[in-house]
Structure 1
Amino acid sequence: MKIAIFGQAFNSNTEEALIVILHYLNNKKDVSVFLIAEFNEKIQEEKPSEFNFTQIAETLDSTFDLLISIGGDGTILRAITYVHDLDVPVIGVNTGRLGFLATIQNELIIPAMDAIFSKAYKISERHLLTIETQPKVDAFEVYNFALNEIAISRKNTTSMITVETRLNNEYLTSYWSDGLIVSTPTGSTGYSLSCGGPVITPDTNSFVITPIAPHNLSARPLVITDSTTIELKVNGREDNFLVSLDSRITTLSNDTVITIKKAPFTIKMIELLEESFLDTLRKKLLWGEDKRN
């Protein structure tokens, strides 16, 4: 079994999780453990004398069987840029805060690893968004996909922008707002939720369009089928605006036309058998935390 480990930062919580994982995997036969080079650099900056890894992976390929992400949901969003369309399953150890994607707490690492090696888990396939621009933008040539959302927002101004929106070449509306979020079901519990969007179960074949602070008082989040092609055009007092793909941000000019649609591949998230999305909702959003229950 060939396993890669990734993290965005190295702190006490991350170190604790990494030690437990390495100790567990080193006691397993026929297991090769690789550290993603980006993560190794963070570790060497902090504790070069205590961690000396010989197997470092600059990138992943289809020979890997598993990617372990140590951190929060943001770490998983970064980790999928390594996975791309390789079909390598991902599991997240949560050393961050809320953790809708990274659900394994430090104290549950060993039971989770036992479940993985005994194949007592399920795979949750998560759909992604892709972006194309006209004219083309170099920043999106390699990492032109997002697991949570693609968001349009104003730049260098407190004024609203107008986001002209078309669905399958049919005009929908022009949102007067601070921006617009196009979210996957996975991302529905993130930025979109904070802007009033609905929670959508991960297995739903839908996307959500959520305006950010709209001045159109009748503007509401819109749920659409994930086969829809979305076209966006921005106008505003400034010449540029921001577009973010999960945590990756770039600047585009107002003459750019953005096309968003479903990616041709999915990300495979490992879920333990006793886990469910509804259980996660209750835990993370405190649903049902009522004395009457």
Structure 2
Amino acid sequence: MTEVSPAWALSDNRHVLLAVHTGRQDIVELARSSAARLARAGITVRLLEDEAGALGLDDAEVVPADAEAARGAEIVMVFGGDGTFLRAAELARYSNAALMGVNLGRVGFLAETEPEAVEETLLAIERCEYSVEKRLAIEVDVLDARGVVVGGTWALNEASVEKSERSRVLDLVVAIDGRPLTSFGCDGVLFSTPTGSTAYAFSAGGPVVWPDVEAMLVVPSNAHALFARPLVTSPDSVLTVAIPADGNRARVSADGRRVLEVPEGGRVDVRRAARPVRIARVHQATFGDRLVAKFGLPVRGFRDARGHDPGRELAPPRNVLTRDLVDLGTVEGGGGGSTDDDA
């Protein structure tokens, strides 16, 4: 779902929270210059406590990196790769703030813009000329052998149930909506969102799913079974992995950032999160454009080198994802995906 007209357009008290990968000086400098421009436009810039020293912005509002960090903010502007973006998502999910990323990592599937187009992006923020996508997220419950919830977390990309001991195969049972589906030995099972379909799930052989599709993915990892294909389920399903009480030990990793241990004989339940993650979009690039640009997909066709016949494909439009500006007259609106890299 996409919101076209942000309510902040009517507000005179606007805040933007910065989330910055401060380990690189070029990223710090870009964040500083961006903050200065936002401040000149009358927007209050908010910094995280653990990043404020590196950024050195005297007029900025400094806040702890907790659930209140993005409260009242319009945008969480991310300077870094997808790892920084996922860290910022942990803050934004407690508020109505939308995430907007500047890709300074390797792939940057979640980012909205490249460094060369930052000025265009800042102008869009100043004018409230952006839309907001609502991305499905997942909630995870860890239960013990008695069925008592002993832990929980959430994920934007994926939650993976993994073996704790590298030398052992993890035996498990997969169930959908409380009904057992199959069992096998494996390295683990991934439960992915459409946003995360281009990340860990893609590397494990899962399908690429357009981000506006309402669904959840189940992707086995190195399963010792004939029926171990990726599954696409209803967004309203409850997905379960049960671990037999025979010495198998497992853990849950959410977005590669949060880890929970699964008790022996316990289980993991995954369902759609009550709150989606909001991502701001400025550039009119489709999800297909992002796939072509990020994965370097060949789009010319195998006959391209044979001549200039009428069936030859036209040159692709200029695109911000190829470190160029979007040609708004030739490209239609779309979505995005994600990959677990960082700056």
2:50 maps to: 38
1:200 maps to: 209
1:49-99 alpha-carbon deviations (Å, 9 max, x no partner): x55565211132541111111111111111111112422111011111101
Give the count of matched residue pairs: 282
* Greater strand proportion: 1
Which of 19, 23, 34 lines up with 1:21 in the alignment? 34
> Which stretches in structure 2 are left out of the alignment for 5+ residues?
1-13, 305-312, 314-343
1:127 equivalent in alignment to 2:133? no
Query: Identity over aligned residues, as a percent?
Result: 24
Greater CA drift, 89-98 or 248-257: 248-257
Which of 247, 259, 266 lines up with 1:249 in the alignment? 259
1:56 equivalent in alignment to 2:65? no
Structure of greater Rg: 2
Taking structure 2 as the reference length, the TM-score comes to 0.77
2:276 maps to: 266
SS of equivalent residue, structure 1 residue 64: coil
Kept in 2: contact 1:161–1:237 (CA 8 A)? no
Deviation at 1:238, TM superposition (A): 4.8
Give the 3 Å change call, closer, same or farther, for CA 237–96 of structure 1 in structure 2. Answer: farther
1:165-200 alpha-carbon deviations (Å, 9 max, x no partner): 111111111132100000000000000000110000
1:277 maps to: 287
1:214-273 alpha-carbon deviations (Å, 9 max, x no partner): 111331100111110112112487542121110222322222221110001111101114
1:223 maps to: 232
Kept in 2: contact 1:35–1:53 (CA 8 A)? no
> Which stretches in structure 1 are left out of the alignment for 5+ residues?
45-49
Mapped partners of 2:245, 2:29: distance in 1: 48
- The aligned runs of 1:80-99 (5 Å cut-off) are 80-99=89-108
Mapped partners of 1:159, 1:235: distance in 2: 14
Kept in 2: contact 1:161–1:236 (CA 8 A)? no
1:168 maps to: 177
Greater CA drift, 245-254 or 163-172: 245-254
Deviation at 1:124, TM superposition (A): 1.4
Mapped partners of 1:88, 1:121: distance in 2: 13
Which of 108, 112, 117 lines up with 1:103 in the alignment? 112
Task: Kindly report the root-mean-square deviation, in angstroms, between the aligned alpha carbons of the 2 structures.
Answer: 2.0
Mapped partners of 1:238, 1:154: distance in 2: 11
Kept in 2: contact 1:100–1:280 (CA 8 A)? yes
